[in-house]
Each structure stands twice: as structure tokens, then as C-alpha cells.
Amino acid sequence: MKAVILAGGHGKRLRPLTQDRPNALVEVGGKPIVEWHIRWLSSDGVKEFVVCAGYMREKFFSVIGSGSKLGVKVYYSVEDEPLGTGGALKNAEGLLMNESGFLTVNGDIITSLNPTALAEQGSVGVISLVPLKSPYGVVELSDNGLVKGFLEKPQLDYWINAGVYYFKPEIFHYLPEKGDLEKTTFPELAKKNMLKAVKFRDVFWRAIDTQKDVEEVEKELLQQTQATKADISYAGQ
């Protein structure tokens, strides 16, 4: 199974980090975001990737190249002008039309969710969902107005699009030449009852939209690494 990485964005909100590279090549924890994608998906058996590149696309050729140094094969679908997420995927049809199904991931996220769970749903389109995390701390109050406690950026009872999808080749009938999946394709599939969703709890998921996000995700990844090392150390005692 192939995986598509939608990496054509300019990453304007990530400037100055994207002045000399596309957003998917911004480094987080010493590795470009696209490398996080490849390492994550290849651990689940994906060995062929299609990178949809536009802005500063030549940077991908020098950083990722054929994918051989990461043990995978990388193909490129190049857009000469911004096509949006739906148009970018449509532009890659020739590389995907013979697949029974393929994964697609937005180029500005890092996650640990299990992508194989999407392929098991048997629908033309399947999207992943994660709980919405409050950007602010929340104050808990009693009925009489007393402060009971504080919750630091809790998960809320709403679900958001996690930017990881599974599609069957029929999806190309519903893709625009130019436009976004979220605004064109997904609403149409939903009306036709052709779009499913899988909820993921207790997984690592972060969108990399700003320089602050980069700094926060690096801290979270470091904490995870330290916790894993501690568990291994404890198990060896």
C-alpha cells in the first residue's frame, strides 16, 4: 500500500522557518516533518510514498530524494501552482490509480495513530478523528460558584479531523482540479454516505502550524523519549 504526503503548502504561519523550505521540511526534534511521516508509516509496513510537492519542491529532492536512505521508495507529484489538498491528490492520480487503496496524510502533522485501522472500514473515504484539545486551561466550578480546581488544556468532548485518510481509487471521481478535500470532496462524500470516520483516543497528535508548535512538540517528544527510556531501565532492574 502506498501513502501520499500532501506537502505542497507554503507554511506562511511558520515563517521565518519556511523562508528557505516548505512546511513539511521544517525540522522537529532534529528531523523534517516528512521524515517523521515516513518513519511512522513505514513501521506499519508502508514502503512506497508519493510526495505531493509544490513550494520549493527541489528541497525535497535534496533532503528525501528517492527515499533509499530511509529504506523506502519515494515518488513525486509536482504542482506548478497551488492546487489545494484535493487538487494535489487529483494531480497524483497517475501514481495511484492502480492501487486498491492508499493512505493520505497532511504534511503539517505528527502523530502515532494506527493507520491500518482506517483501511479496515471498507469505504471510499475514511478520515481519522482525534479529540479537540483546549488551547487554554479550564476552571472547574461548583454550583454555588466556588472554584473546585483547574485543568490544564484538557481534551474536550468534540472530535476534529486529524489529517490522516484512507481512500479507494473511486475517490478520484470526487476530487477537484483545484480546491481542498475538506471543503469540496468530504462534504459531497458525506451527503452520499460514502465517508466514514475512525476515532482515536490516547494517541500522540499535533499540528505544526506555528513556530511555537514546533517548540512545544519538541518538548513533548523529548518527554516521551525520556519516559520510554525510564520504562526500559525499570524493566531491566
The residues carrying an active-site annotation are 153
Compute the CA torsion angle 171, 36, 43, 103 (nearest 10 deg).
0
d(CA 11, CA 13): 6
- Residue 133 near residue 206 (C-beta atoms within 8 A): no
- Residue 224 near residue 204 (C-beta atoms within 8 A): yes
Cis (ω within 30 of 0) for the bond into 16? yes
N-term to C-term CA, the chain:
41
